[in-house]
Amino acid sequence: MRQQGSISFIGQVERIEGSISRIKIKTEFCEGLNKIDSFSHLIIIGWFHLKDSKKDRQTINVIPKRYPGAPEIGVFASRSPSRPNPIAISAVELLGIEGCTVLVKGLDFMEETPIVDIKPYLPRADKIIDVKTPAWTTKGPPS
């Protein structure tokens, strides 16, 4: 098994105004946005840069802070930013493209979050109808 890889960030969250975010894509990756505006929703993959420390990467159990009354759970049963690989994901609505800037609604990243990748949201592949979740997940935020 290969033990190490590398990631090149393709851009970063530039600005957040309410529920609208601007993601600035590096010039060398801008052409990769070709035809992305034919999709209404995207999956944004980011890097929890503020949680990229030795301590945070050693996190194995967490108590989800955004869910009142949640029990301690394994990090892989959570969306905690403290995790072995601080990868973030968010499904968003695409509002438009302005040059190398992607405008989206509903991104739950902070400003300056590095962007790892962008993928189109495909309901056929990404939507799961019958899901099971613990009761404590109903008491938190939508994302």
Q: What is the band of 2 on the pLDDT scale with cuts at 50, 70, 90?
A: confident
Tokens 């962008």, residue located: 118
Are 99 and 23 within 8 A, CB to CB?
no
Task: Give the pLDDT confidence score for residue 1 in this predicted structure.
Answer: 73
Task: Give the residue ranges of DSSP H helices in 1-143.
Answer: 54-57, 123-126
List, in order, residues 6 or more apart from 108 with CB less than 8 Å away. 90, 143
Looking at residue 83, its pLDDT comes to: 95
Residue 143: band (very low, low, confident or very high) from pLDDT cuts 50, 70, 90 = low
Q: What is the pLDDT of residues 116-142, one digit of tens each?
A: 999 999 999 988 888 998 888 888 776
Closest C-alpha among 89, 78, 137, 80 to residue 113: 89
pLDDT in tens, 80-117: 999 999 999 999 999 999 999 999 999 999 999 999 99
Domains in the chain: ranges and CATH: 7-48+86-122 (2.40.30.70), 52-85 (no CATH)
CA distance 1 to 81: 25
Intra-chain end-to-end CA distance of the chain, in Å: 33
At residue 27's C-alpha, the angle toward residues 23 and 32, to 5°, is 75
